[in-house]
Structure 1
Amino acid sequence: MRRRLRDDRGSALVEFSWLAIILLVPLVWIVISVFEVQQGAFATSAAARAAGRAYALAPDDATGEARAEAVVRQVLADQGTPGQRATVTVSCQTPGDSCHVGTSVITVRVDSAVDLPLFPDILGKGAASFSLDATHTVPIGQYVVSAPPDGEGRGR
């Protein structure tokens, strides 16, 4: 009885195809995730800078906080990340009660997170996210010329 030999022609192509699928799919996911995180980092940094400027240009602290929040939402939408969540925290180093005096230094911190794309929900609770934050410090006098105390320096 004669045994029939198995023909191996074409098996290398099949093996290469499966290996390419197994290696390329995670690699493509990693590259897309890195791009999403980088886009979110740029958006968060731009949002912190714009929020600091908006706060400094506001006439008072309450208006400044409202403007900073609105600017952060707008900048994130403009950068292509409209669904990105963000929290704005404003602090200032000032000798008085108001952050809007000539020697104040305003620090704006924007905390946000970027959801990783195509992450299956069965691996955890909801989509996986990458936490981002950016801080921008603005001396109040950089954008606003404060009035001198007691009318000094006014025209004669």
Structure 2
Amino acid sequence: MSGTRSVDDQGSAVVEFIVLGLLLLLPVVYLVLVLARIEGAAFAVQRAAREAGRAYVTADRPDHARERADAAAALALSDQRFEGQGALVVSCSQPDCLAPDSRVTTSARVRVALPGVPRLLDQMVPAAVEVVATQVTPVDRFATRPDRFATRPGRFATRRDRVDR
């Protein structure tokens, strides 16, 4: 009996290897996909907060600043395939957000749903991760904005021409 093998056992090692390999490999692949999606969201919100802050403080007029920040954040989020999923919050350290040496805080937020989780399960157990990034951007102390100085044609702005607000 030492050299004989049962006919029923032939090929079963290959089947067992494939079944066990799939059972162990599928969760690892799912974990890699989930972590890649969360990492992409972290890149997206960090860049969205940074670019929104930069766009806000470099605006010429306060009424255009928010539009520029929203456009910059939307572009940064779309780079990582989070179109229309993020939220942007802008706050200022002074009432006039674009005053020299003030600080503008931008915060970007994205909710990442875990792939493959049914909606029913998502209602019972939270199956999403919220990723948030915050950026504080200073307004240039020495920059001048067109709406800060009123000039007459052919003249440079002086202190007397300054429009106080």
TM-score relative to the length of structure 2:
0.75
Tell me how far 1:82 sits from its aligned partner: 3.7
Tell me how far 1:37 sits from its aligned partner: 1.0
Structure 2 counterparts to residues 81-92 of structure 1, below 5 A: 81-83=81-83, 85-92=85-92
- Distance (Å, rounded) in 1 between the aligned partners of 2:57 and 2:137: 7
Give the corresponding residue for 1:138: 137
Equivalent residue for 1:119, pick from 117, 120, 130: 117
Structure 2 counterparts to residues 53-68 of structure 1, below 5 A: 53-68=54-69
Q: Does 1:45 align with 2:46?
A: yes
| C-alpha contact 1:109 1:134 (8 A) present in aligned 2 | yes
Q: Secondary structure at the match of 1:141?
A: coil
- Distance (Å, rounded) in 2 between the aligned partners of 1:124 and 1:25: 21
**Residues 42-78 of structure 1: CA deviation (Å, up to 9, x unaligned):** 111111111001110123433212221121111211x
Tell me how far 1:122 sits from its aligned partner: 4.4
Structure 2 counterparts to residues 101-116 of structure 1, below 5 A: 101-116=99-114
Amino-acid identity (%): 31
| C-alpha contact 1:84 1:113 (8 A) present in aligned 2 | no
Give the corresponding residue for 1:151: 158
- Distance (Å, rounded) in 1 between the aligned partners of 2:118 and 2:88: 29
Give the corresponding residue for 2:96: 98
**AA partner of residue 81 (structure 2):** T
**AA partner of residue 100 (structure 2):** G
**AA partner of residue 23 (structure 1):** L
| C-alpha contact 1:44 1:76 (8 A) present in aligned 2 | yes
Q: Secondary structure at the match of 2:76?
A: helix
- Distance (Å, rounded) in 2 between the aligned partners of 1:123 and 1:17: 30
TM-score relative to the length of structure 1:
0.79
Q: Can you give the 5+ residue segments of structure 2 that lack an aligned partner in the other structure?
A: 1-5, 150-156, 160-165
Q: Can you give the 5+ residue segments of structure 1 that lack an aligned partner in the other structure?
A: none
- Superposition RMSD on alpha carbons, in Å? 2.8
| C-alpha contact 1:110 1:133 (8 A) present in aligned 2 | yes
**Residues 96-147 of structure 1: CA deviation (Å, up to 9, x unaligned):** x2111112011111111222222333433399322111111111017x7037
Structure 2 counterparts to residues 7-26 of structure 1, below 5 A: 7-26=8-27
**AA partner of residue 87 (structure 1):** A
How many residue pairs align between the two structures?
A: 145
